[in-house]
Structure 1
Amino acid sequence: MIDEIIHFFGRFFSNADFPARWYCGQWSNFHGWLYILSNFAIAGAYFTIPLALAQMIRRRKDLPFRRIFWLFVSFILFCGTTHFIDAIIFWLPIYRWNALILFSTALVSWTTAVVLVKVMPKILELKTTQQLKEVIRQKTQELEIANRRLTESERQFRTLVDYNPDVVARVGRDQKFKFINPAIKNLTGLRPEYYLDKPVEELSNFIAASPRFGYKIKTVFEQGQLAYYETAARESERFYAVSIAPLYDQENQKVEDALLIIRDITFQKKAETELRENVDQLQVLSQSLTEKNQKLESFAHIVSHNLRAPIGNINMLLNLHEEEDDTNERNLLLTNIKEVSQKLFQTVEDLTEVVRSQRSAPEDQKEIDLEEALKSQMANISAEIQLSEPGFTMIFTMPQNTLSSDIPGKYFA
């Protein structure tokens, strides 16, 4: 076998071993030329078809399965070559060439067949022209519906923006206005068209007393973060809240524009001021009520202290009056009861004066007659003195609550 292969390629370009086909067998002119012309015709067609396919493949870059098309071009070219050699072999007995071309054709044919079998499922998944038309029709209908919805959404959004009391604007990287809603007229008195393609500094004269307005917008573009600050109007008593949000490009995720919203917060600021004032007033009122409660507790202590002794004294004098048989003594006790009652009445009058003094300005300070106070207290407890053993000691003290802070000149024992 090896010797035959060596002999085959060693005499590959030699035609001496074979006669021309005209001289093999009994070929008539009709039979021979019919065979030759048919092979030439087939070869011509087989050479034309791959040239057309190659032209199509080069022009249609989006053609699917380009590899299988190139295999078909090679397969058809080899088939055409076999027919061409089969025709000229009537004069040139190049049988060794013919054998090698047939072998190459077989390799290309089977390669094409294997690849075609592998890609056939994908080829079968390709839509037909009618199916593609139906898909296009459905997609077109869906796009029309989506466009209508988008148009309606844009209309609603435009309505919301146009009738929004807040100033809404779109600012480009050049810090010029691309869009601004009609609310700007309420702020500056100028129509939105005036601000288109104008720099943002046009607004700084109205809402900012410093150049930080433009600086804030520049920071949003550089850092891509939301900015918010509050500022007062330059020539009015109004306050504004300024929000600046970055708008990103969907493709490269870079800040393309900035959304600017300016809201009038004058009412909120005034409400905050009033609230702080009310809180301060409530704190003052709370402190005043606390002081009054303390005075009320002190007053209750005074009332309890100053009424307990006279009432107890009257009780004891009444008991003595009931137990006494002597008329003179009974009359004396009645006299004491009257005196204590008068002292009790005077104490009530003094307490009433305390109440009145709490609602008016305090009186001037007065000196207290301690001797008179001692006599008054002894009269209040005269009954206890009579019941006590001969000899007693009066201890005079000045507790904190014995002097009324509202009427310093009054003493309550």
Structure 2
Amino acid sequence: MLHLVGSILSQIGSFFFQLFDTNGFPARWDCGSVWQDEPGVGWLHIVSDLAIFGAYLAIPICLAYFLIRRRDLPFPSLVILFALFIVSCGVGHLVEAIIFWEPVYRFSGLVKLITAVASWATVIALVPLIPSILDLPSLFSQNKSLEEQVIERTEAETLFRSVFSAVPNGIIVVDREGVMKLVNIRICEMFGYTDKELVGKPVEVLIPHGLRDRHVTQRNAYFNVPTNRKMGEGRYLEGIDKNGRCFPVEVGLSPTQIAGGLHVIASIVDITERKHAENQLMQHARRLEKTNQDLDEFAYVASHDLRSPLQGVKNLASWIRDDNEGNLPEESLRHLDLMQQRIGRLERLLDDLLQYSRVGRIRQSIVQVDVAELLDNIIDSLPRPEGLRVEVVTEMPVIETPMAPLDLVFRNLIQNAIKHHDRKDGMVVISSSDEGYFYQFSIRDDGPGIATEFHERIFKMFETLAPRDDVEGSGMGLSIVKKAVENIGGKIWVESEPEEGATFTFVWPKTAPQGGQE
């Protein structure tokens, strides 16, 4: 066995030692008279073999170039085997041309062996890859997909630019270095530049000179921790236009990744008109506050200064009666009673005027009001004829609201229903219903009713339907009620016909504003 192995190795070594030995092998030109008679046939073989060699050498060079430039080419090992197969085929054709002069048949056989090995290696590598190769998209489908993507991107870009130009706010896209990459037309209108004058420039050109260095520091800090937020929240911000005019702005910042880099989209609004309106509103509020203070002072002084002489007149009437007891005729006594009655009415009018002036201007804290309990207290405190009943006929809610205005409204409406009833055995019914954002309350009586033409009039100041000497009152009660209801965000109305009673209905918000009256 060892002798056989040694003999084979000896023969292989002898083969490679004599690889280029041509002894015993004639050149192809010397093989047969046909080459001498028709040399063109030989040259046809030689030229063809050399041309094939040149092409087979160019193909693997191109493949190597593709592999170097396109690292993402699929199946690179198969490409390398195919290149080796092509190179070995080309060398084989080159040797075939050389044999016409140098009969290197041993080398020719070795080249053919290498070609055979390379070709079968390529086949063996290719067969398992056939399913994967078949799954590769065709060039046509890839081109179609690319065309569709280009169309989609073009449409998306067109839509983006349309939206970008159409938004009412000014929009700037800024990179990490603070360079403006994109601006919309609103920015150009706001600052007086063209887009070409702004794109590529630092965003600080739109900031007043004295604030630019500080803005660079703040901008760098923002890019380190980018978030969606307002710029300079709580501070007064200004921009500066091309002519050097400074104006107030509001800026919103939103970080985004564009082309692999962090950018910021800044939304800018010129708030000059808003600031002007706010200043006017503040001035108006200050004037209104001053007017309210003056009204409070006037109401107090008028009430105090008028009440003192009225009390003096009332006392004088009482003294005249006491000093002339038994001496005055009945007519004079009646006149003194009428004087004191009207003095009392004027005092109540002063109280009601003072209360009306304060409605909506005295702040009240919001508390939890159990309406059923509130009505019980009001009903128990109001005097009424023994036969007149006041009943609550539905379940009452618990409301988060200022206590005083709700008490005032219920008290006045129930008191009016009792006071203006024409029978001592009448009834006043109180009900409620849930109307979504509001509660609706109704106070219904079975009294004389109110004609339709008076439904609006009764809510005005100093209006009474009965003669003032017949019914005590200043004519202010319902006007105070209306003002209190509307101040809280509600509404009040009356439904009535003569001899059919009256129903006063008002709506009260479930979420009441902070405010009320005494």
Shorter-chain TM-score tier: 0.3 to 0.5
TM-score, with length taken from structure 2: 0.40
Larger % of strand: which? Answer: 2
Larger % of helix: which? Answer: 1
Larger Rg over CA atoms: 1
TM-score, with length taken from structure 1: 0.48
